Amino acid sequence: MPRPIQARIDLSALRHNYHVARRRLATAPRPAKVWAVVKADAYGHGLPRAATALADVADGFALLELEAAVALRDAGIRQPILLLEGFFEPDDVTVCAQYGLIPCIHRSEQLQMIRAAALPLRLPIYLKLNTGMNRLGFTPAQLPAVHRELAASTAIGALTLMAHFAEADGGRGVDWQLERFAAMRAGWPEDTPVSLANSAAILHHPHTAHDWARPGIMLYGGSPFADISAASLDLKPVMTLHSKIMAVQEIGVGERVGYGGTFAAQRPTRLGIVACGYADGYPRHAPSGTPILVAGRRSATLGRVSMDMLACDLTDLPEAGVDSPVVLWGEGLPADEVAAAAGTVSYELFCALARRVPVVEV
């Protein structure tokens, strides 16, 4: 018998969420096409299954792992594939050409590598502009050199301008970055395609989508906003992490729970020990009080999360006991809530799902 832990992946929810992104953008005069962002093994959901589930709907797939992009092609994916970090080595340029991968170009050495590769065809690229995220991309001061390199090169095909928002989910919003983008874009023909919007921008600033939007977290049913639930955005959870109660302990007042004894019972307490720990991907930093679902009812974790187990409070759930079903996050308990309690984001919970957790598609 395997441990009772299991991640269930609802592929119809994934397709539903993709259509939510598409619908958000449908009112524009020229609706943006929608990359399905499937980097990091489709945010921990499994790249082959996510790509298969979206194969007949997605306009394209965006990721950043070269081997994974090649695997998509080998699996028969015909749509455009975008490499969000471009390439790292000169040899990768040939792979891009061979497999029809579009690299994001964010520094001039990459343009030189393309020129040096002497490809038999012109390579389409996304040119990344740094509009204030300050992670990747060309600054205004670097653009004259970029224009010179592009003019001198016969190796570059269709060019799309891209940038990435730092605070589309709140804070300063997107206008300040749009202003910088507009100034930088002026050096290219008016009809040059543009790609800017992540999930937060698609949902809150759909006018920024332009030609190609890049939703990630929303496809997996996570909300990009701290204060807006995924359900209210019509997003459905794709991953549900299930387990079971594997043991029950009754402890008296003052007894402590788990490593470090970080939780002390204030009342006679009935503990459920859940077959799930940080080696399964549950965040070790989740404090006592993190929400958890036992037999369909809400409860809270108690004490420190250990490698293979965690404890939760069954005191007010007398009907729960050994073998009661537990949901760590997903259906019935938004990953965003668990993540917030643990001081992180659902992105990190999904991506951290451990290899040892069996996955079933539903």
Ligand X SMILES: *Cc1c(COP(=O)(O)O)cnc(C)c1O
Task: Check if 236 is active-site.
Answer: no
Looking at beta carbons, which pairs linking 295-299 to residues 24 or more positions away fall under 8 Å? 295/319, 295/320, 295/324, 295/325, 296/325, 296/332, 298/333, 299/272
Compute the chain's Rg from CA coordinates: 23
**Cβ closest to ligand X, residue 58 vs residue 305:** 58
| CB 312, CB 299: distance < 8 Å | yes
Look at residue 106 and give its three-state secondary structure: coil
Residues 68-127 that bind ligand X (CB under 6 A): 84
**By rule CB under 6 A, what count of residues binds ligand X?**
11
Choose between 92 and 313: whose C-beta lies nearer to ligand X.
92
Nearer to ligand X, 199 or 208 (CB): 199
Q: Which of 8, 164, 204, 236 binds ligand X (CB under 6 A)?
A: 164
CB of 17 to ligand X, least distance (A): 11
Residues 6+ apart with CB under 8 A from 170: 225, 226, 227
* Strand-strand pairing, 325-329 and 194-195: unpaired
Closest approach of Cβ 324 to ligand X, in Å? Answer: 34
**Residue with nearest beta carbon to ligand X:** 216
Residue 166 is given by DSSP the state S
13 three-state secondary structure: helix
Shortest Cβ distance from residue 140 to ligand X (Å)?
20
Measured at the CA of 143, the angle between CA 139 and CA 145, to 5 degrees, comes to 125
| C-alpha span between 116 and 122 (Å, rounded) | 12
CB of 86 to ligand X, least distance (A): 11
d(CA 45, CA 238): 8
The rounded distance, in Å, linking the Cα atoms of 71 and 220 is: 21
- Closest approach, Cβ 58 to ligand X, in A, equals 14
Residues 183-242 that bind ligand X (CB under 6 A): 198-199, 214-217, 224
**Residue in 33, 39, 128, 236 annotated catalytic:** 39
Contact present, 72 and 81 (Cβ < 8 Å): yes
The residue among 84 and 293 lying less far from ligand X, judged by its C-beta, is 84
Helical H segments across 186-248, by residue range: 199-204
- CB of 139 or CB of 262, closer to ligand X: 139
Residue 226 and residue 341 in contact, taking contact as beta carbons nearer than 8 Å: no
Site string for ligand X, 268-297 (x = CB under 6 A): ------------------------------
Output the smallest distance, CB 51 to ligand X, in A.
16
Is residue 37 involved in binding ligand X (CB under 6 A)?
Answer: yes
Structure-derived torsion over alpha carbons of residues 198, 200, 205, 208, reported in degrees to the nearest 10: -10
The Cα 271–Cα 286 span in angstroms is 17
- Closer by beta carbon to ligand X, 214 or else 242: 214
| Residues with a known catalytic role | 39, 259
Q: Give the residues lining the site for ligand X (CB under 6 A).
A: 37, 39, 84, 164, 198-199, 214-217, 224
